[in-house]
């Protein structure tokens, strides 16, 4: 149990490092944006400021959820994370997708903490909403599959019917395979490696 708690804490820390980087990046360049606003026009400067404000609001909702969890208010924490999905961003900003995928990921994990078959279905619904939102491979997209795997593992531990247990274990395996496939594509793209040969490719 301590090991699982440590994994959740480590993942939460990593998530916040990434989101804080998203939040601080516009601050680092805001001086340049102000200096260049006369050349770029006020619209671009306004969009940059809007992204910064949206990231700040999303971070505040997530922190509010953290505090509610410390107080044992799991339903309140879920409602706070749902508010992240309502934060408006300028159109076509990649930060919006990352923030919303992270929110769906956290919602899935929070629903899983509620426990029971209905909560598992709500967790899987959050994962599926994130899948539909995603337009590209990313850290957050990959970890949606990790959350799905956690749901199927919990289901496999909960059910007693042998066939249902085997089904849940197979679904967990498939979710891990999707997670691995996304990570492989991301790493190959980031490291400028050629795509993996497809199965049956003789090269």
Residues 144-187: tens digit of each pLDDT: 999 999 999 999 999 999 999 999 999 999 999 999 999 999 99
The string of pLDDT tens digits covering residues 21-65 is 554 444 444 444 444 445 445 676 778 899 999 999 999 999 999
Closest C-alpha to 106, from 126, 120, 125: 126
Look up the pTM and report it.
0.78
pLDDT of the residue at 20: 52
Among 1-5, 93-97, 134-138, where is mean pLDDT lowest?
1-5
Q: Which residues contact 80 (CB under 8 A, 6 or more apart)?
A: 61, 62, 64, 65, 68
pLDDT of the residue at 191: 95
pLDDT of the residue at 1: 46
The string of pLDDT tens digits covering residues 70-89 is 999 999 999 999 999 999 99
Please give the backbone phi and psi of residue 120, each rounded to the nearest 5 degrees, phi first. Answer: -60, -40
Residue whose tokens read 């001086």? 31
Domains of the chain: 2-190 (1.25.40.10)
Closest C-alpha to 131, from 147, 115, 120, 116: 147
């Amino acid at each position: 149990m301590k090991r699982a708690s440590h994994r959740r804490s480590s993942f939460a820390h990593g998530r916040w490092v990434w989101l804080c980087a998203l939040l601080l990046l516009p601050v680092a360049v805001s001086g340049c944006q102000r200096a260049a606003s006369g050349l770029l026009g006020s619209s671009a400067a306004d969009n940059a400021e809007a992204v910064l404000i949206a990231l700040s609001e999303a971070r505040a909702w997530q922190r509010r959820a953290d505090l509610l969890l410390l107080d044992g208010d799991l339903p309140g924490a879920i409602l706070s994370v749902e508010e992240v999905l309502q934060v408006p961003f300028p159109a076509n900003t990649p930060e919006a997708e990352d923030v919303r995928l992270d929110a769906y990921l956290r919602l899935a994990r929070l629903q899983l903490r509620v426990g029971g078959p209905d909560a598992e279905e709500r967790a899987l619904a959050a994962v599926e909403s994130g899948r539909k939102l995603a337009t590209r491979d990313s850290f957050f997209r990959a970890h949606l599959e990790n959350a799905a795997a956690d749901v199927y593992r919990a289901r496999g531990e909960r059910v007693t019917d042998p066939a249902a247990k085997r089904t849940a274990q197979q679904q967990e395996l498939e979710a891990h395979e999707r997670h691995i496939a996304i990570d492989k594509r991301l790493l190959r793209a980031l490291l400028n490696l050629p795509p993996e040969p497809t199965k049956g490719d003789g090269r």
